Amino acid sequence: MATLQRTMSQVMDREEGEDMEGGENCPLPTQDITLNLKNRAKAITSAAYGPENPKLPNEAFWRKKADQWDVSMEDSKKSLCGNCAAFNVSDNIKQCIAQGIGMEADPWGTIKLADLGYCEIFDFKCAASRTCDAWVVGGPNTGEQEGEESEEYEEYEEGEDE
C-alpha cells in the first residue's frame, strides 16, 4: 500500500535514538483515527478482519475461516494477528500508537488491554486476538530481527540444496 511505502521511508529517515514525540515519524494511521478506521474497514471488507468481539465464541466466523483455510476450527483459531508476520509490535510502533491515542487518556493501558500492534499489510492499529484472510506465518514482528534472516529461514534454505 502507498501508506506502507510512505511509512517505511519515514522510519528509514529517522536517526537512531531520535524520539517519536509528536508522531512525525510514525505511520499516519497511528496518528489519524479517521485514516486508521478507513484502513481497518478495508481489512474488514477485503480480508474478513475479525471477529468483531474476540471474547465471544464467534462460531460462524471461525467455521468460515476453517473452511477457507481447509483446517479444523481449532487450528483456524491459532492463526491470529498476534502471530502474523505482518503484525508489528516493536517498541517504536507501540510508542507511535500511544502517541496517537493521546497522553490525556491511558494509552499504555489501552495498548495492553487490547494487545494492540500495527498491521503492516492494511496499515491500521490491530488487535492480536483477531485475524484476517491475509494472515502470514512467522510473527509477530518485534523489531528485533530487522535486517537479519531468521534461523528457521536459513535452515529451510540449506534444506533446499540437498
Confidence of residue 143 (pLDDT cuts 50, 70, 90): confident
pLDDT over 50 (residue 3): no
Highest averaged pLDDT of the listed ranges 15-19, 102-106, 131-135, 158-162:
131-135
Confidence (pTM): 0.74
pLDDT higher at 148 or 73: 73
Q: What is the pLDDT of residues 36-84, one digit of tens each?
A: 999 999 999 999 999 999 999 999 999 999 999 999 999 999 999 999 9
Q: Is residue 19's pLDDT more than 90?
A: no
57 vs 54: CA distance, rounded Å: 7
- Which tops the pLDDT comparison, 148 or 94? 94
Among all chains, which residue has been given the C-alpha cell 491500521? Answer: 124
Spatial distance between the Cα atoms of 12 and 6, rounded to a whole number of angstroms: 10
